[in-house]
Amino acid sequence: MAKTLKVGVIGVGGIAKTHMPGWAASEHAEVVAGSDVFDSALQAWGAQHGVKKLSTTAADIINDPDIDIIDVCTPNMYHSELVVAALNAGKNVICEKPLAPTPEGIHKMIEARDKSGKLLMTAQHFRFQGSSQAMKREIDAGALGDIYHARSWMIRRGWIPARPGFVYKKNSGGGPCIDIGVHILDLTLWFMGNPKPISITGVAKAPLAKHEGAFSQWGLAPVPKDMDVEDFASAFVRFDNGATLILEVSWLMHHNTEGEDMQMWLYGTEGGSHWPKSEILATNYKTQQFTNTQLKLIADKMEPHALECVEFARCVAEGLPSPVPAEQSLQVMTILDGIYRSQEAGREIRLDE
């Protein structure tokens, strides 16, 4: 089948590499253009992937009438401006997480999306993993009943992206909340059916980053002394359906994990669950027995960063809704922003007043 949708990638660094196999595998879309502020990196990327339309000015790609999809893979601070410009130019847009590091940035994108009538998707790749798909299917079929509590964490030990795009607020918008909190929080809310948050009590601080000799296992890089984002955050969130959530994130914690510990427990009236083990825990009240059931996993068709691109192209081609709508990313960012506001105020932040 001819690939009818033409894709332009903006920002050809680390994460863009994980999208390329998806565009290559898509039966609907192919990458024909790229933009990056670093010309040498852009030329090397173009040569590697056989992409000839290359420009260090993103507007050249955004305004190219032959392009249907823009894939935004730049650092967080550029997302909002690029996404809005691309939507205004009539393109469908997939954008890396966080969609924007503030709720205001996402509001602007939603406005532009609604004016353009095009699709906007946040690249939340964990949703496309087999373990997530299996869990979501089971939860939607009612296995947990009403979910009344969740515990989620994404904790790393000395695994901080010690790069300017991540450790300075002006570039990233925040620390692990914004970098990895978006992953576990998006997944948790999605499993919970995206209830509306009504209050947040949060703490966000940097108890370890300022240690003399603080370092990242990632390339054994030192943590920049002037890093101005948190290295740890925790929160208690209430939702309008009465459910609650406890969230913990860190880049540096003294936690016994190699690399990263990412887990989620959900507790419902009919059962509990663990992700990524994909286990459902239930109680037979007649026999007074507990059952733990391992879900049959949906096999990963391909790496989830790639699969999200395949799915986005399919939705554009078939006129389907966005697989990860911006409204759900707005909910995620409203909670993360609430953590920062709660830290600053030293009290609970209510969203329903």
Question: The dihedral of CA 196, 201, 205, 208: what is its sign?
Answer: negative
| 3-state percent helix, strand, coil for the chain, nearest multiple of 5 | 40, 25, 35
**Residue with nearest beta carbon to ligand NAD:** 13
User: What are the distances in angstroms from CA 144 to CA 70, 135, 137, 268, 278?
Assistant: 38, 10, 11, 5, 13
Between residues 24 and 77, which has the closer beta carbon with respect to ligand NAD? 77
Between residues 38 and 145, which has the closer beta carbon with respect to ligand NAD? 38
Identify the H or E element spanning 108. helix 103-116
Which runs of E-coded beta strand occur in the chain? 5-10, 29-35, 53-55, 69-72, 92-96, 120-123, 147-156, 197-205, 215-216, 221-222, 232-239, 244-250, 260-268, 272-275, 279-284, 289-294, 349-350
Burial of 52: CB neighbours in 10 Å, binned 0-12, 13-18, 19+ = exposed
Contacting range for ligand NAD; rule: CB under 6 A; set: 36-44, 202-210, 255-263, 295-303: 36-44
Within 140-179, the residues that bind ligand NAD by CB under 6 A are 165
Q: Are 285 and 291 in contact (CB under 8 A)?
A: no
Amino acid present at 193? G
Look up residue 203 and give its two tokens.
Answer: 């703490």
Decide if residue 351 touches ligand NAD (CB under 6 A): no
**Contacts with ligand NAD, 41-70, as mask; x by CB under 6 A:** x----------------x------------
Between residues 38 and 211, which has the closer beta carbon with respect to ligand NAD? 38
* Cα–Cα distance measured from residue 147 to residue 266, given in angstroms and rounded to the nearest whole number: 7
Within 65-94, the residues that bind ligand NAD by CB under 6 A are 73-76, 78
Q: Give min distance, CB of 99 to ligand NAD, in A.
A: 9
User: Among 3, 15, 24, 215, which residue interacts with ligand NAD (rule: CB under 6 A)?
Assistant: 15
Decide if residue 35 touches ligand NAD (CB under 6 A): yes
**Contacts with ligand NAD, 275-314, as mask; x by CB under 6 A:** ----------------------------------------
Q: Give min distance, CB of 41 to ligand NAD, in A.
A: 5
Between residues 36 and 64, which has the closer beta carbon with respect to ligand NAD? 36
Decide if residue 96 touches ligand NAD (CB under 6 A): yes
* Cα–Cα distance measured from residue 316 to residue 71, given in angstroms and rounded to the nearest whole number: 13
Q: Give min distance, CB of 96 to ligand NAD, in A.
A: 4
Between residues 38 and 111, which has the closer beta carbon with respect to ligand NAD? 38
Q: What is the DSSP string of 204-220?
A: EE-TTTTSTT-EETGGG
Look up residue 243 and give its two tokens.
Answer: 């459910």
Q: Give min distance, CB of 305 to ligand NAD, in A.
A: 6
User: Among 7, 12, 99, 266, which residue interacts with ligand NAD (rule: CB under 6 A)?
Assistant: 12
Q: Are 239 and 165 in contact (CB under 8 A)?
A: no
Q: Give min distance, CB of 292 to ligand NAD, in A.
A: 30
Question: Which residues bind to ligand NAD, rule: CB under 6 A?
Answer: 10-15, 35-38, 41, 58, 73-76, 78, 96-97, 123, 125, 165
